[in-house]
């Protein structure tokens, strides 16, 4: 009875075959390999139910941001555990230069890393060495964490599957980095070149002007560099209509939606609907 129960529990996430355990495969990396579009919402709130829900609903991945928000690696580990109930990948963004945190996020079960403010090919190559085991990189080995999972894989298989299944997205956010985008895209181990459009506009002195010619030029250059290198590229998108335009330009990695914004917009809809009925809201927003 116990054996049958565990077979049932493990079946949805397919971590075991007749040959033994293997790493959870990356849904995103498989879709990009087939040139299929990938859609990833960003989550800020730390209720595991949200991650479980989105994963069970079949989203390609969930973007967790540790660059700007206060979430700890320990908390992220719990959120990743909830997401493993379904099929969604976790893409975790560390801050620039965070070698130790990057490795811990992968060990906690992230299928992908989003690396911000990549300035040049040398930095992109360094990040690859942090994220990949030898011979591709210099990532340190442990094996006693969810990605292995929990010492269930022989070392050689774990190293090989980790290099195959994890992905790395590097962000172009500084306008100066555009001068190096072809070389960045060409770095082995970089899977996605991603335009951080908000920071790009801020650093360009045009905050929030996403239709500005300089942003359109950045999109053109990133798309061309990715196409030349045979890599995927993408950026945040505000709507299905905008996304269609980006897909026509060759983008395959789209970030859209945030749990925080969804909750805010839902509460605002309540205020608009119930205010005319005599309800008052004395908040400061």
- Is residue 33 in a domain? yes
- Is residue 86 in a domain? yes
- Is residue 3 in a domain? no
Per-residue pLDDT at 6: 34
Rounded-to-integer distance, Cα 77 and Cα 83, Å: 10
Are the CB atoms for 59 and 198 separated by under 8 Å? no
CATH number of the domain encompassing residue 213: 3.20.20.60
- Is residue 97 in a domain? yes
| pTM, 2 dp | 0.89
- Is residue 281 in a domain? no
CB-based burial label for 230 (10 Å; 0-12, 13-18, 19+): exposed
Per-residue pLDDT at 16: 54
Q: For residues 132-160, b (16+ Cβ closer than 10 Å) or e, as one string?
A: bbeeebebeeebeebbbbeebbeeebbbe
Mark whether 256 is an active-site residue.
no
- Is residue 15 in a domain? no
Rounded to 5°, angle at Cα 75 from 86 and 28: 35
**From 68, 180, 245, 256, the catalytic residue:** 68
Helix 73-83 to helix 99-107 angle (10° resolution) is 30
- Is residue 5 in a domain? no
Provide the domain limits for residue 84: 29-268
Per-residue pLDDT at 1: 41
- Is residue 8 in a domain? no
The tens place of each residue's pLDDT in the chain, 285 residues long, gives 444 433 433 444 455 543 555 789 999 999 999 999 999 999 999 999 999 999 999 999 999 999 999 999 999 999 999 999 999 999 999 999 999 999 999 999 999 999 999 999 999 999 999 999 999 999 999 999 999 999 999 999 999 999 999 999 999 999 999 999 999 999 999 999 999 999 999 999 999 999 999 999 999 999 999 999 999 999 999 999 999 999 999 999 999 999 999 999 999 999 999 999 999 999 888
Counting the structural domains of the chain, the total is 1
């Amino acid at each position: 009875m116990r054996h049958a129960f565990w077979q049932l529990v493990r079946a949805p996430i397919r971590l075991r075959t007749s040959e033994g355990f293997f790493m959870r495969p990356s849904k995103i990396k498989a879709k990009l390999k087939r040139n299929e579009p990938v859609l990833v919402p960003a989550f800020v709130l730390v209720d595991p139910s949200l991650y479980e829900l989105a994963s069970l609903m079949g989203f390609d991945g969930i973007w967790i941001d540790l660059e700007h928000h206060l979430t700890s690696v320990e908390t992220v580990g719990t959120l990743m555990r909830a997401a493993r109930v379904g099929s969604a990948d976790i893409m975790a963004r560390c801050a620039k230069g965070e070698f130790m945190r990057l490795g811990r996020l992968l060990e906690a079960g992230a299928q992908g890393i989003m690396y911000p403010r990549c300035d040049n090919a040398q930095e992109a190559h360094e990040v690859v060495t942090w994220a990949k085991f030898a011979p591709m990189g210099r990532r340190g080995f442990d094996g006693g964490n969810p990605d292995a999972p929990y010492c269930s894989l022989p070392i050689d298989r774990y190293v090989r599957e980790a290099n195959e299944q994890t992905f790395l997205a590097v962000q172009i956010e500084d306008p100066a980095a555009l001068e190096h985008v072809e070389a960045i895209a060409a770095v082995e181990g970089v899977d996605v070149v991603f335009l951080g459009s908000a920071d790009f506009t801020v650093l360009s002195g045009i905050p929030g002007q996403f239709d500005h010619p300089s942003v359109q030029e950045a999109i053109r250059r990133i798309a061309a560099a990715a196409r030349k290198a045979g890599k995927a590229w993408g950026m945040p998108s505000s709507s299905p209509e905008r996304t269609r335009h980006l897909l026509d330009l060759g983008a395959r990695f789209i970030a859209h939606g945030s749990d925080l914004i969804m909750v805010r917009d839902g509460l605002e809809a309540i205020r608009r609907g119930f205010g005319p009925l005599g309800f008052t809201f004395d908040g400061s927003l």
